[in-house]
Amino acid sequence: MPRPAAGEVLVQVKAAAINPSDIKNVQGKIRGTTVPRTPGRDFAGIVVEGPKELMGKSVFGSGGNLGFGRDGSHAEFLTVPARAVLPLPQNATLEQGAGIGVSYMTAWAALVNAARIRKGETVLVTGTTGNVGSIATRIAHRLGAKVLGTVRSTADLAKVGDLPVEAWIDLQATELADGVRAATAGRGVDVVFDVVGGAMFEKCLQSLAWRGRQVVIASNPDPRVSFNLVDFYHNESRLLGVDSLKLDFEETAEILRSLTPAIESGDLPLPKVETYPLVQAPEIYRGIASSAIKGKPVLVP
């Protein structure tokens, strides 16, 4: 049983999402993780010890060094700074609350904190239908931007649902930059949110308008990329990297606090989660690593 230090709360974990970074963490791919360590970044639960005003409250949270430098959420109880917990959105179950964290805060950190998107701009989101990409699309739309999305093939268009995308680019039928130029009358986009990296990196750069900003959060499958430096500086492009692991508890809480009104109003949908018992966590980890389990897995007691 963990014991909360001064300024911390003890949370009985009722639900905890599993993120791709959790898999990398237990595989030893996250620098800075100290061991032994309980993994898990996102959580929702009940405060059972802490300030009087928080006792018994349903809360959710994420971020900081949770799961890396301190024991994380894939457990029955955890301790975090009191400032790290937020009231569960009124329309969310505990399981849904646990699924908000990393995906939502990464999208916000990339588009709002890093790219500083503005109303009227055009944004290209790669990996548009994935967990992070779909939330980024809705955030950009809510802030008044026009969004371009990508699909791997025409058949994937049947799966896009109600995402607020102005134009879809079929990557099987056209090169990304060509599709972007066609959709923007040759201008390009103000912002690219690249959640793919690798071979897509240079294609995204080629899609930028003059002085456009490209935000990158991934490096799969190859961390090394190349691009035409002459084209890059003549276009006065801006390149930004975002690592959600660098967001401390206070920064994460501020982002989640900013997102909560949109979640409660329905402007941002709650995550679709699939629950699994905590006792099966190692098995679920292996299933995610082998791509046998997809979606948004959430561990419950």
- Using DSSP, state whether 200 is helix, strand or coil: helix
pTM, entire model: 0.94
Name the DSSP class of 72: -
CATH for 8-100+270-300, options being 3.40.630.40, 3.90.180.10, 1.10.287.3510, 3.90.660.10: 3.90.180.10
Residues of the chain with CATH 3.90.180.10: 8-100+270-300, 103-244
d(CA 148, CA 169): 7
Q: Give the pLDDT band (50/70/90) at residue 161.
A: confident
Q: pLDDT tens-digit profile of 139-159?
A: 999 999 999 999 998 888 888
Q: Give the pLDDT band (50/70/90) at residue 219.
A: confident
pLDDT at 220 over 80: no
Any residues with CB less than 8 A from the CB of 184 and at least 6 apart, and which? 122, 148, 209
CATH for 103-244, options being 3.90.180.10, 3.60.15.10, 3.30.750.24, 3.10.50.40: 3.90.180.10
Of the candidates 22, 90, 64, which has an alpha carbon nearest to the alpha carbon of residue 289?
A: 22
